[in-house]
Structure 1
Amino acid sequence: MGLKSFLSRPLAAYVAHQYQKWALHPEAAQQRVLQELLRLGPATAFGRDHDLAAARTAPDFQQRVPVRDYEALSPYIERIKQGERDVLWPGQPLYLAKTSGTTSGAKYIPITKDSIGNHINGAKDALLHYVHRTGKPQFLDGKLIFLSGSPELEQVAGIHTGRLSGIANHHVPGYLRRNQLPSYQTNVIDDWEQKLDHIVDETLGQPMTLISGIPPWVQMYFDRLTERTGRPVGEVFPQFQLFVYGGVNFEPYRRKLLDSIGRPVDTLELFPASEGFFAFQDEPGNPGLLLLADAGIYYEFIPAERFFEPNPPRLTLAEVELDRNYALVVSSNAGLWGYSVGDTVRFVSLRPHRVLVTGRIKHFLSAFGEHVIGEEVEQTLREALQQFPEAEVVEFTVAPRVSDTATEPSRHEWLVEFARPPHNAAAFAAALDAGLRRRNVYYDDLLRGNILAPLQLTPLPAGAFQRYMKSQGKLGGQNKVPRLSNDRVLADGLLRA
C-alpha cells in the first residue's frame, strides 16, 4: 500500500464522521445555510430588489423570492458580465461556468469564492466516502483519468469563464495532481479525435486505477483503447478499480461500457451541475445519492405534477416525502436565488436524505450530455422551414439513437411527418443540424468531437403520429406529442405505427 492510500483511510473516516453529524439532521443544516444566505444576500442588488434584509424565515424568503429559471435571472447575470459588483453575491464571481440549454443559447452560471468549495469538495468527499465504505484506497496510488473539457478559460469582464469541467480541472487537489492524466497539453486540444489519440498514447502502459467522465465520452476512449490493443480495457489496465460517472443517465451505456471493460469494476455516481454539486453515491451498491445539505445550497422541492401551477407549493427538506417526483429549486452562495435547476429528483431515503435523479421537469434530450430543450428544436425546425418553403410539417419529435457497435455512430434522430416533404431531404437535414449547433454549444461540441454523427432525418408515413397517439389512448384533447425524448419509447412506437 502506498503512502497516499495509507493516509487516505484516517482522512476518509474523519470526513465520513463529519458528514454523519449533519446527514442525520439535515433540516438543521439547511436552516444554517438559509440564515447564512440571508445574512449576506441583503448587501447585493438582488437582495435590495427583494428586501432580503427583512427576511428571517423560510416563509419570509419564499414570499420575497419567486422561483426563476435562467431566463428570468439573466438580467442580473448580464450586469455581472458588464463588470458590475455585488449583483447576486457580494463581490465578483471567481468564475462564470458556461453551459447550454436555454432559449438564448449559452448560460453563464456564477461560481464564487464561497461556492467553489462545493464543487471541489463534493467530488473529493465522494471518493473519500468510497474509501471509507469499501476499505479500498489503492486507486489513489495509481494513475487517474478525468475526461473533461478544455481547462483553457476566457475572460468576461475580468472573470475567468469556461466549461465547469475545465474550471474544476484547475482545482484538482495537489495530492492527486501528480497522478492525473491526461496532461494539460493534451487536455487543451480542441479536436476530440486528436485529443483522444493523445489520451490513449499517454495512458497506454500506465497503471490506470480510476477513470472518470460522461459515459459516451468514456465509451469512445474505451473503443479506441480496444482498437489499438485488441484487448478489453480491464486487461489493458489490470489495476483499473473505479469508474466514476455523472451528467447523463448511465443505463443506456451500462451494458456496452461494462462489456468493454470485460471484468467487474466498482462504480460511483455523482450529481454535479454548473449550479452546484448536489449529491453523490455515499454507499456502494445503494443507488441513492446523498443530498449535500450542508454545502452552501438551500434546497426547495416543488411536486413535479404541480410545477406549472401559478403558485405551486415550495417544500423544504423537512417536508418532502419518499417516492414522489420533485422539481429541484436551489438558492446558494454562488448567488442563485430560487433557481429552478430543471432536474427532477425522487427521495429513496430520509435521514440521511438520498435521491435518484429522475429526469427533467420539461421534455429534453440529453442522452449524450447535450441538454437540448424543446424551444431549441422548435426554433431550429422553424428556421429550416423558412429555408425550404416548399416543405410543410404535420408533427415531429426528436430522440437519441445510441449506438451499440463501434461501426454505427450515435446521433439524434428527427422523426418527421411531412404534409409536403422538402425537395432535398439531405440539405434539409443539414440545415437542422446547423441550426441546432448554433443554438446549443454542447451539441456543437459533440459533433465537432465526432462523438455524435450528423442527425438522421426519418420521414414518417401520413397519420403515423395519430395512429401512435390513438394506440396509447391519447388521441385528441389536450394530449401533446413530446418534442424531445431521452429514450426511444416514443420513437420506436412511431416507427411501428
Structure 2
Amino acid sequence: MGIRALLSRPLAHYIVEKQLRWIANSRAIQEQWRQSLVTKAKDTRFGKDHFFKDIQTYADFRQAVPVRDYEELKPYVELILQGENDVLWPGKPAYFAKTSGTTSGVKYIPITSDSIPNHINSARDALLTYIHETGKAEFLDKKLIFLSGSPELDQKAGIHLGRLSGIVNHHVPGYLRTNQLPSYETNCMDDWEAKLEKIIDETISQPMSLISGIPPWVQMYFDRIRDRTGKDIKDVFPDFSLFVYGGVNFDPYRAKLFESIGKKIDSIETYPASEGFLAYQDTQTEEGLLLLLNSGIFFEFIPAENYFDPNPPRLSIAEVELGQNYAVIINSNAGLWGYSIGDTVKFVSLHPYRILVTGRIKHFISAFGEHVIGEEVEKALHYAMERHPEVEVTECTVAPMVNPPEGGLPYHEWLIEFKTPPTDAEAFAKAVDTRLTQLNVYYQDLITGSILRPLVITALPKNSFINYMRSKGKLGGQNKVPRLSNDRLMADDLRKGV
C-alpha cells in the first residue's frame, strides 16, 4: 500500500467522525449557519437593504429576505462588476463562476474565499467517506483523471472568471497533483476533439484507477479508447475501480457506460453546482445523497407544487418530509440570499438527511448537462421564423434523443407541427440551432465538442398535438403543451403519428 492510501485512512476516520457529529445535530447546525451568515453580512449592501441587523428568528429572516433567481440578484452582481466592495458578502468574491443564464445570457455566480472550502472539501470528503466505508484506498496511489473544463481563467472587474470545474482545478490538493491527469497544458486546450485525443495519448498507458466527469463526456472518452484499441476499458485500465460523476441524471448512461467498461465498478454520485457543492453519496448501500448541512449554506425548501404561488411556504430542514418534491433555496457564504437554484429534490431519509435530485422546477432539457429552458427554445424558434417568414408553426416540443436508433451522436429532437412548413427545411433547422447555441453556452459546448450533433426537426402531421392532449385528458381549458421535457415520454407518443 502506498503512502497516499496509508495516510488517507486515519484522515477518512477523522472526517467521518466529524460528519457523524454534525449529522446528529443537523437542525441546530443549520440554525447556527443562518445566524452566522446573517451576522457576517449585516454590514454589506445587501445586508443593509434587507435589515439584517434586525433579524433574530427564522421568521424574521423569511420576512426580510425574498426568494429570488439570478435575474433578481443581478443588480447586486452588477455593483460588484462596477468595483464596489461589501455588496453580497464582505470584501470581493475570489472568483465568478461563469454559467448559462436564462433571460440574461451568461450568469456570474460569486465564489468567495469563505465559500471555496465548500467546493473543495466536499469533493475531498466524498472520497474519504467512500474510503472509510469500503476500506478501499489503493486507487489514490495510481493515476486519477478529472475530465473538466479548462483551468484557464479570465478576469472581470479584477475578479478571476471561469467555469466551475476550471476554478476547482486550481485548488486540487498538492498531494494529488502528482498523479492527476491530464496535464495542465492539455486541460487548457479549447478544441474538445483535439483535447480528447491528447488526453487519451496521456492516459492510455497509465495505471488509471479513478475517472471523474459528466457521464456523456466520459462515455465519449471511453468510445474513443475502444475505437483506438479494440478493447474494453477494463482491459486498457485494469486498475480502474472508481467512477465519480455528477451534473446529469446517470440512469440513461449507466448501461452503456458499464458495457464499455466491461465490468461493474464502484461509483460515487456528487451534486456540485456553481452556487455550491450541495450533496454527495456517502454510502454504497443506501439510496440518496447526503445533504451537506455544515458547509456554509443555510438551506430552505419550497414544495414544488407551491413554488409559483404568490406567497409559497418556505421550510427549514426541520420541516421537510419524506417523498415530497421541493425546490431548493440556498443562503450561503458566497453571498447568495434566498437564491433559487432551479433544482428540485426529494428526501429519501431524514436521519441523516439524504436527497435525490428529481429535476428542475421548470420544464427543461439537461440530458447532457446543457440546461436548456423553454424560453431559449421559444427564442430560437422565433429567430428562425423571422428569417423564414413563410413558416407557420402550430405547436412544438423538444426532447433529447440519447440513443438514436439510426446510430451516431445524440441530439435534441424538435417535434414541430407546421401549418406552413419551411421551403428550405435544412436552412430552417440550422437557424434554430445557431440561435440556441448563442443563447446557451452549455449547449454550444456540447455541439462544438461533438458530444451532441445539431438538432433534428421532425415534422408532425396535422392535429398531432390536439390528438396527444386529448389522449391525456388535457384538451382545452388551461392545459398547455410542455415546450420541452427531459425524457421522451411525450415525444415517443407524438412520433407514433409520423
TM-score normalised by L of structure 2: 0.99
1: CA distance, partners of 2:133 / 2:405 = 35
Which residue in 2 is equivalent to 1:314? 314
2: CA distance, partners of 1:371 / 1:402 = 15
Alignment check: 8 A CA contact 1:101 1:373 kept: no
2: CA distance, partners of 1:329 / 1:185 = 38
Which residue in 2 is equivalent to 1:195? 195
**Structure 1 residue identity aligned to 2:365:** L
Which residue in 2 is equivalent to 1:93? 93
Q: How do 1:42-81 and structure 2 match up within 5 A?
A: 42-81=42-81
Q: How do 1:88-237 and structure 2 match up within 5 A?
A: 88-237=88-237
Structure 1 position 103, deviation (Å): 1.4
Secondary structure of the equivalent of 2:383?
helix
Secondary structure of the equivalent of 1:318?
helix
**Structure 1 residue identity aligned to 2:332:** S
Secondary structure of the equivalent of 1:226?
helix
TM-score normalised by L of structure 1: 0.99
Structure 1 position 404, deviation (Å): 6.2
Which residue in 1 is equivalent to 2:372? 372
2: CA distance, partners of 1:209 / 1:332 = 34
Alignment pair present for 1:359 and 2:359: yes
Structure 1 position 403, deviation (Å): 2.6
2: CA distance, partners of 1:249 / 1:177 = 29
Structure 1 position 286, deviation (Å): 2.1
1: CA distance, partners of 2:210 / 2:98 = 27
Q: How do 1:376-415 and structure 2 match up within 5 A?
A: 376-403=376-403, 407-415=407-415
Structure 1 position 115, deviation (Å): 0.2
Bigger shift: residues 248-257 or 37-46: 37-46
Structure 1 position 79, deviation (Å): 1.2
Alignment pair present for 1:296 and 2:293: no
Which residue in 2 is equivalent to 1:246? 246
1: CA distance, partners of 2:406 / 2:25 = 48
Structure 1 position 287, deviation (Å): 2.7
2: CA distance, partners of 1:23 / 1:396 = 47
Alignment pair present for 1:338 and 2:332: no
Structure 1 position 407, deviation (Å): 4.7
2: CA distance, partners of 1:240 / 1:404 = 29
2: CA distance, partners of 1:200 / 1:326 = 41
Alignment check: 8 A CA contact 1:213 1:246 kept: yes
Aligned residues: 497
2: CA distance, partners of 1:273 / 1:142 = 28
Which residue in 1 is equivalent to 2:22? 22
- Runs of 4+ in structure 1 over 2 Å off: 403-407
**Structure 1 residue identity aligned to 2:199:** I
Task: Name the % identity.
Answer: 64
2: CA distance, partners of 1:319 / 1:291 = 15
Bigger shift: residues 356-365 or 283-292: 283-292
2: CA distance, partners of 1:287 / 1:386 = 49
Cα distance 1:406–1:23, how it changes in 2: closer, same or farther (>3 A)? farther
**Structure 2 residue identity aligned to 1:278:** L
Structure 1 position 285, deviation (Å): 3.1
Structure 1 position 406, deviation (Å): 10
Which residue in 1 is equivalent to 2:438? 438
**Structure 1 residue identity aligned to 2:354:** R
Which residue in 2 is equivalent to 1:35? 35
Structure 1 position 43, deviation (Å): 1.2
Give ranges in structure 1 of 5+ residues lacking alignment. Answer: none
Which residue in 2 is equivalent to 1:272? 272
Residues 13-63 of structure 1: per-residue CA shift (max 9 Å, x gap): 110000000112210110111011111111111111111111011111100
